[in-house]
Amino acid sequence: MNKNELITEILKNEVVKALGCTEVGLIGYTVAKAKPEDLYSIKEIKLILDKGTFKNAFSVGVPNTNKFGILPAVVGGLLGREENKLEVFKDIKYDEKLEEFIENKLKIEVIDSDVYCKVIIKANKVYEAETKGSHSGKSLSDDLKNAYKSLTLKDFIDYIEDIPEEVIKIIKETIETNKNLSTPEVPEDFISLDLKDEILNHMLKKTVSAVYNRMIGINKPAMAIAGSGNMGLTATLPIIAYDEIKGHDEEKLTKSITLSALTTIYSAYHSSYISAMCGCVNRGGIGAVSGLSYYIFGFDRIEESIKSFTANLPGIVCDGGKIGCALKIASGVFAIYLSLFSKVPYTNGIVGKDFKECIENIGKIGKAMKPVDDEIIEILKNKK
């Protein structure tokens, strides 16, 4: 497999459609795989979740339920169809009676693991299902991921000069799907945005609205990148917004979004799919900076823009999926925009000497923040 074939394979597996937060989708999908035919025969449902899945599902909206959190994700999974996978809540009609029946039968165990969900249902017999390695359960080999991690920014730049037709199709679907999620606009009683800078204002409104809509559980899918819908939105919508104001250049937009996806995935592989560090800002932000810098300046300033971004927001914590993510994304969009017009030297903090070292340094900080994640989990467990 040559470099371009490797990149294509990675993109085909890491840019996928998901309805609602990918963690509640993971739970719902795994429940749907395990559920008995007679739902009212259930005596107990036990979930075994990795810390990140527990954290991100704890307070987030679940599509087609008008509810938030793990319980409606379980009920939605019982009502959904396994074949819908991460769109498991599509077309469900929520059942309050079933929720009341299930509520006191639900047990949750949280473990230290990569992406993981196991469902054990005790009914007339024991039903089990497991999803691990990725939110869809379809995980790439470590050899492929390590090969991708060895690529360079130049490899990604070379790739976007001649994107395969099958990838162009995925990127165009990503643009339309994520753009569609940015309506309706975020309500003014949550955040009121009206900045004098037309470009920044449009970037903020489009990206923040999409994340807010997704976090309340609106019935519209997102194209997730590297396991996260919000990361996919952050990596794409600032670029889409810029194109709407300044460009309307389909070819340049396609290349910029592809580069953003490539660098977002690269950042995730140097860290993890879910961590104590907000991946939507840190990893999706790297993607958006790469893509926007290419769109505006060409290839020349991508590395300098990434250095400036590295000097700014890395370290912002992830305390789970929720509507407050929209505010973190707003901070991320500011940082993305600032990075395009600033220059920070290598001698500053964790700024690397080049693209690769910046990504590696951010990944090291994310991995060192594991004790922070443990404290966040304990805070959530103790919420009434």
- Decide: 275 and 373 in contact? Cβ < 8 Å: yes
Q: 320 — alpha (psi -120 to 50), left (phi > 0) or beta?
A: left
The separation between the first and the last C-alpha atoms of the chain, rounded to the nearest angstrom, is 52
What gap in Å lies between CA 220 and CA 85, rounded to an integer? Answer: 15
Take residue 35 and report the two structure tokens written for it: 């559920």
Residue 42: other Cβ atoms inside 10 A:
20
- Decide: 267 and 309 in contact? Cβ < 8 Å: no
Whether the ω angle into residue 184 lies within 30 degrees of 0, i.e. cis, is: yes
- Decide: 241 and 175 in contact? Cβ < 8 Å: no
Take residue 294 and report the two structure tokens written for it: 């290419």
Which residue in the list 21, 278, 280, 318 is annotated as catalytic? 21
Take residue 136 and report the two structure tokens written for it: 């869809």
Amino acid identity for residue 60 in this structure: V
21 is catalytic: yes
Q: DSSP character for 244?
A: I
3-state secondary structure of 342: coil
Amino acid identity for residue 41 in this structure: S
| Active site (catalytic) residues | 21
